Amino acid sequence: MTGLVRRFRALPLRSRLALLVATAVAVAVAGVAVVSWLLTRAQLNDELNNTLKNTSASVGSVQAALSLCARGQSRTEDYPVFAYTQIVAPDDSRCVAPGSTGVKVKPSDIAVAEGLLKNTLHNSVTDNGAPVRVRTERVEFAPGQVVAVSVSRPLGEIETSLNRLALLLSCVAGLGVVGAGVAGLWVARTGLTPVDRLTETVEHVARTEDLTVQIPVEGEDEIARLSRSFNSMTAALASSRDRQARLIADAGHELRTPLTSLRTNIELLVRSEQTGRAIPPADRQALMASVKAQLTELAALIGDLQELSRPDAAQGGPLTVVALHDIVETALRRARLRGPELTFATDLAPWYVRAETAALERALVNVLDNAVKFSPPGGTVEVRLSDGELTVRDHGPGIPADELPHVFERFWRSPSARSLPGSGLGLSIVARTVQQAGGDITLRPAPDGGTSASIRLPGASEPPPSHL
């Protein structure tokens, strides 16, 4: 059995499908044929039994049979009858009616003759060995004279009909199996055509790495769903590969500037040591400060790249209920250190959200850093948290309307900000973190100058009981 299963699994899918269809149809046809034959046999037997019940021996037949018995004769062959008729005596003897064939007496026939049974219905054989159906019952032949009369019908007429039916059903079943095999091959070939196309496409993608190939989708069946899923997968992979290539190109471009500047400064320091020409202390101090700033910028850029390179499912730790107003306060403390000359006007109402604390704090720091970066000296940064909406507004030059759609793109920096420190990744990280927490962020020009950043996060003004 195990060997058959292994050989079956080793067959191509098309052959297995055709074989399964042919087998299923063959079993169904064979089952219908057998059931039809059994039902027909039962129906014919019932009709024969009803015929025997409705057929009674004529008085003439009984008188002739009794007359033959009285003369010591058993039967005569020149008197045709509708059915075989004979009289059964309690002593196992019998009197066969003229034209009838003798039927072997069964114990149930004797029981009827003895008056133990009223009638009986059973199979028997004639003296020639032909099968018959027998019905024996007690019949009152004359007042006070009751005899057991057996009326028999040959079973050959039923067997002939059943044999013909069996032959016919066998032919039909054979044709059904052959037709099922042909239909199975056709179904397998037709049904697996989309699978063949999908296989060819997958092999083409594996061979050429061309993710732009699309499979034609027809209908709404499972194959169509599979084709749509494959097309969506290749489109997503192509988009991911394009983003990866663009990220690598942008990262290389952004890394080139600090690395080039850092290399230049270090070469100046090395040349000074090699030639023995000392750099003036003020210039050397400025040079070291520039190296330190470039290293800091490079470290921040690498950290941002690491943050963006991780998949969404791997971002930070688990989501927990956190106090958004407390995280804003922490971010404000860091922002005040970076802009000590600025004034921060705050109005923070309690609000609790479900987020990852470290990632959310980093996002809020990025938003406040932008406000500090673009605020004029001595300016004011307004921070307000109300009903789950955090608004950070600066009084800087603002963002032109044509640049607003690009502010959340990776490495994008407005022309006015390219001279300022930064990698262009801050707002991309902010948008990603906010979206993971189920919120949204928008930037728009403020009515009287500057830029207003609004972050809305779902939550509640009171912590859940488990957070208390």
Reported as a pLDDT band with limits 50, 70 and 90, residue 1 is low
Reported as a pLDDT band with limits 50, 70 and 90, residue 162 is confident
Same domain, 74 and 144: yes
Same domain, 323 and 383: yes
Residue 104, in any domain of the structure: yes
Q: How many domains does the structure of the chain reveal?
A: 3
Same domain, 108 and 26: yes
Same domain, 279 and 428: no
Same domain, 303 and 328: no
267 pLDDT more than 70? yes
123 pLDDT more than 80? yes
13 pLDDT more than 70? no
Structure-block tokens of residue 269: 């320091």
- Least Cα distance to 81 among 106, 66, 102 occurs for 102
384 pLDDT more than 90? yes
**CB proximity list for 101: less than 8 A, separation 6 or greater:** 75, 84, 126, 127, 128, 130
Same domain, 280 and 348: no
154 pLDDT more than 50? yes
115 pLDDT more than 60? yes
* pLDDT confidence of residue 392: 92
What is the mean predicted confidence (pLDDT) over 232-238? Answer: 84
C-alpha 276 chain-centroid distance: 75
Average pLDDT, the chain: 78
Residue 119 in contact with residue 150, Cβ under 8 Å?
no
* pLDDT confidence of residue 78: 38
Residue 359, in any domain of the structure: yes
Same domain, 33 and 170: yes
Structure-block tokens of residue 435: 């979206």
Handedness of CA 361, 363, 369, 371 (dihedral sign): negative
Same domain, 126 and 260: no
Lowest mean pLDDT among 42-46, 370-374, 417-421: 417-421
Same domain, 174 and 52: yes
Residue 216, in any domain of the structure: no
Q: Give the domain-ending residue among 184, 204, 232.
A: 184
249 pLDDT more than 80? no
Q: What is the largest CA-CA distance in the chain?
A: 161
C-alpha 174 chain-centroid distance: 37
* pLDDT confidence of residue 307: 63
Residue 214, in any domain of the structure: no
More confident residue, 424 or 282: 282
Residue 3, in any domain of the structure: no
Residue 217, in any domain of the structure: no
* pLDDT confidence of residue 190: 74
Q: Cα-flanking dihedrals φ and ψ of residue 122, to 5°? A: -160, 170
Domain of 63 in residue numbering reads as 12-184
Residue 290, in any domain of the structure: yes
pLDDT, one tens digit per residue, over 386-427 is: 988 999 999 888 777 777 776 766 655 555 554 455 555 667
* pLDDT confidence of residue 76: 41
- 419 in helix, strand or coil? coil
109 pLDDT more than 80? yes
* pLDDT confidence of residue 348: 92
pLDDT, one tens digit per residue, over 320-355 is: 889 999 999 998 988 888 788 899 999 999 999 988
Handedness of CA 234, 238, 244, 245 (dihedral sign): positive
Same domain, 300 and 387: no
Same domain, 289 and 417: no
Torsion-angle region of residue 68: left (phi > 0), alpha (psi -120 to 50) or beta? alpha
Q: Give the domain-ending residue among 279, 309, 339.
A: 309
313 pLDDT more than 50? no
pLDDT, one tens digit per residue, over 189-214 is: 776 777 777 778 878 878 887 777 77
Same domain, 383 and 421: yes
Distance CA 80, CA 291 (A): 132
Q: Report the CATH number that the domain containing residue 256 is assigned in CATH.
A: 1.10.287
Q: Give the domain-ending residue among 254, 276, 309.
A: 309
DSSP H helical ranges for 210-275: 222-275
Q: Report the CATH number that the domain containing residue 404 is assigned in CATH.
A: 3.30.565.10
Residue 453, in any domain of the structure: yes
